[in-house]
Chains A and B, each alone.
Chain A
Amino acid sequence: MNNFQLLEYAAWGLSAILGLWMVFDLIRTDRTYSEDILNSSREGEIEDALVIDPTHQGGQR
């Protein structure tokens, strides 16, 4: 196995990790929040809206 083959395996591995991370986070987010909240964005809002973020503790009120 040469260096480039190792790089190829690393690229596949990293792609799988990042792809799965996104899918897991998407599922977790969808299960944590209601559709009302997730789809509450409105076009043309200049002011930053109130944000809820109970899971991550990073939101602002």
Chain B
Amino acid sequence: MSQTTAVHGERISLLRVLGPGHVWALGVGIVLVGEYMGWNFAVGKGGALAALIACWFAGLLYTCVAMIDSEVTSTVAAAGGQYAQAKHIVGPLMAFNVGLFLVFAYTMLEAANAITLGYLVQTVGSMASFPETHDKPFIVLTIVFLAWLNYRGVYATLTFNLVITAIAFIAILVLFVAVQPWNNTLMKHNELLTGLPYGWLGVLAALHFGMWYYLGIEGTTQAAEEVRSPSRALPLGTMTGIITLLIAATLTWYICAGLMPWEYLGQAVTPLFDAARLTDSRVLMVLLFIGTIFSTLASANGCINDASRAWFSMGRDRYLPQVFGAVHPKYRTPYRSIVFLVPVALVFAYFAPLDQVITFSILAGLLEYTFMAFNVIMFRQKWPLGSIRRGYVHPFHPLPAIVLLILCAATYFAVFLGYGTQLVAMLVFYIIASLWFAFHRYKFVRRGAQFTMPWPKPAGY
């Protein structure tokens, strides 16, 4: 039985049920896995001190990102986050590209998390005398289970994220207290910090993986159409999220750099779990293993949420086929976008090597941050303070935008040092996609309907 038409006024929208805690869980949930693994490759690039400097610089980069994002998204409160911002402030071609950056960054990160989870289960199998354990069933289960959870509703999805992210964060705090930072019984910073083995070039190279401490915090904006109070919840959730991550990143570096020599730490797969093993405490080992699993799950879960919202928003504006703009009448989720992205994530998780998947995710994120710096400058020029209502006004404008651009440029160079081919390949891909959009797809876009914010005309127009 088919209900053929919508009666006047009948609409199905995404469900506004989320609070600041869910926004925090979305942002920190995506990122916290970077503390459990990945950040330490920065140690391999330039030593432990270089990783600390990278942690600070990347922290500065992401503080700029969080401040800029909080201001713009508290005004452009729409699913799609930076895509919707680009559409209203810069224009359709930029919006199309930003939408692709978002979907790529999150889907690749989701695939990387699923690969990691499969690896962890395989490791447990090997430790339990089953060396022939396969990772593939657990990779597939991770992606399908979390997609199913996302399909069934945003409230349960992000409440689940809130619980597992909080446990993973508390595990880091417990480990920090357990290693007794107030004395030198376990911590050996005096012996293990050996300067900069590759000099300042190593510090620059470390920036590539230094991003891993915070990559994804900007994903909070994707919840804009599902929070009860966007102008309050988004800045609050995002800013508390970046503060949480700055604390977690610093503690993680302090614990690991004080327990392991940089030569080992630089290539460890699960540095925080390894740190727990070095304490000889079974309780800590179990806690940090659970933290590792939970942080991985939370990240993949948040990525599915964000990638599907970005894809959904592009479908709704007909930047992509309109079928992706559908909302489930019962669960109020972008169900077709969620299902469509499942095989995409599975293909990358099944066939692509982990470091390539991570690098493509970092590159997509980096392109997005570069856009954000230009975006906020244009936003303040076109709609100066006082011309529209803002939920949050970030301080010292345009300094954060300039700092963000400088740090992005340094990080591009760092990525180019290690993955120049991928950087060029990705840029070529976006140029081809842009040509397709400009010459083929744009004629389908709802040109008038895509601008939905009740703003006055921009200054100078």
Contact = CB atoms under 8 A, between A and B. Distances in A.
Interface in A26-58: 26, 29, 31-46, 48-56, 58
Given A36-B5, A39-B325, A39-B326, A49 B148 contact: no
A19 B149 CA distance: 11
Interface in B122-151: 125, 128, 130, 133-134, 137-138, 140-141, 144-145, 147-148, 151
Given A2-B130, A21-B148, A50 B10 contact: yes
A12 B137 CA distance: 6
A14 B326 contact: no
Contacts of A25: 151, 335
A43 B151 CA distance: 20
Contact of A22 (B79, B137, B138, B147): B147
B345 to A, nearest CB: 12
Nearest to B449: A42
B3 A32 contact: yes
Interface stretch (B11-19, B256-264, B288-296): B11-19
Residue among B3, B77, B84, B316 with the most chain A CB within 10 A? B3
A8 B133 contact: yes
Contacts of B147: 18, 22
Interface residues of A, number: 46
Contacts of B452: 42-44
B137 A38 contact: no
Contacts of B167: none
A57 B388 CA distance: 41
Interface string B353-368: 0000000000000000
B9 A50 contact: yes
Contact of A40 (B6, B78, B128): B6
Contacts of A2: 130
A7 to B, nearest CB: 8
B343 to A, nearest CB: 10
- Is chain B's interface secondary structure helix, strand, loop, or mixed overall? loop
Given A43-B452, A50-B11, A34 B329 contact: no
Interface string B1-44: 11111110111111110000000000000000000000000000
Contact of B12 (A43, A46, A51): A51
A26 B151 CA distance: 10
Contacts of A50: 9-11
A49 B13 contact: yes
A49 B145 contact: no
A3 B125 CA distance: 9
Contacts of A8: 133-134, 137-138
Nearest to A52: B10
Contact of B2 (A4, A11, A34, A40): A34
B424 interface: no
Contact of B330 (A3, A45, A56): A56
B308 interface: no
Contact of A41 (B3, B325, B450): B325
A21 B1 CA distance: 20
A43 to B, nearest CB: 5
A11 B335 contact: no
Contact of A26 (B10, B15, B339): B339
Nearest to A38: B326
Given A14-B141, A22-B338, 8 more contacts: A29-B330, A34-B5, A41-B12, A41-B14, A43-B80, A49-B10, A50-B11, A58-B330
17 contacts: A5-B130, A18-B144, A22-B342, A25-B335, A32-B329, A37-B12, A39-B322, A39-B326, A41-B14, A42-B11, A43-B450, A44-B77, A44-B78, A45-B11, A48-B16, A49-B9, A50-B9
Interface of A: 2-5, 7-9, 11-12, 14-15, 18-19, 21-23, 25-26, 29, 31-46, 48-56, 58-59
